[in-house]
Amino acid sequence: MTTFPRSPRVLKAGIVLLNATSSAIERIISLQYNPGSLSYSLKGQAIENASQAEALRLKGPPVETYTLEAEIDATDQLEFPDQNPEVQENGLAPILSALESMVYPRSSALLANNSLSSAGSLEIVPEEGPLILFVWSKNRVVPVKITSFSITEEAFDPMLNPILAKVSLGMQVLTVDDLGHGHKGGNIYMAYHQQKEQLAAKFKPGLLSTLGLTNIP
């Protein structure tokens, strides 16, 4: 007898951290609950002080930014402590720390740079962080940099571990202007850009008559 699920499987939004050189996945952070809304804005890259001949030219992809707020709750995991010992011991600290690590350099890199500085090195190159991908369905996989990040811890266990928190993330999409066409992130951005064009091609155009026009003057 064939059985069917009572409800459709809901995909999770989240963050994927990649090694930009090897393309190896370093970490996948899925959001426990998908936010009820996602805010984003686009600012076109027109040529400033353009002449009449260049008024319609675009010098590059738009500046695209995202803002989301996600809720993380440990209540369900705490009901089954044997299955979630890390939550029982630390609450939400592991997942919050995983998110925070996106804007932290590795401690080993800081120690290595301090050793170089103590040894008299004149030039110390900052460590390159992982390539951060914001994933919101298969149609929206974009390289981003974190522009704002805040966490509000709202409830705690007896050991003061957070068990309820809200995370606010601000992100700017990194385009080929930022990363270049030869960079892994640049390739991912171009796939995203081209997918937008493919989706736009599926749009059924309207008619001038619906706008009250018979022709364009």
pLDDT tens for residues 130-189?
Answer: 999 999 999 999 999 999 999 999 999 999 999 999 999 999 999 999 999 999 999 999
- State the pLDDT confidence band at 1, using cuts at 50, 70 and 90: very low
pLDDT tens for residues 21-49?
Answer: 899 999 999 998 888 889 999 999 888 88
Residues 6+ apart with CB under 8 A from 49: none
Residues 6+ apart with CB under 8 A from 129: 102, 105
Mean pLDDT of the residues in the chain: 90
pLDDT tens for residues 98-110?
Answer: 999 999 988 888 8
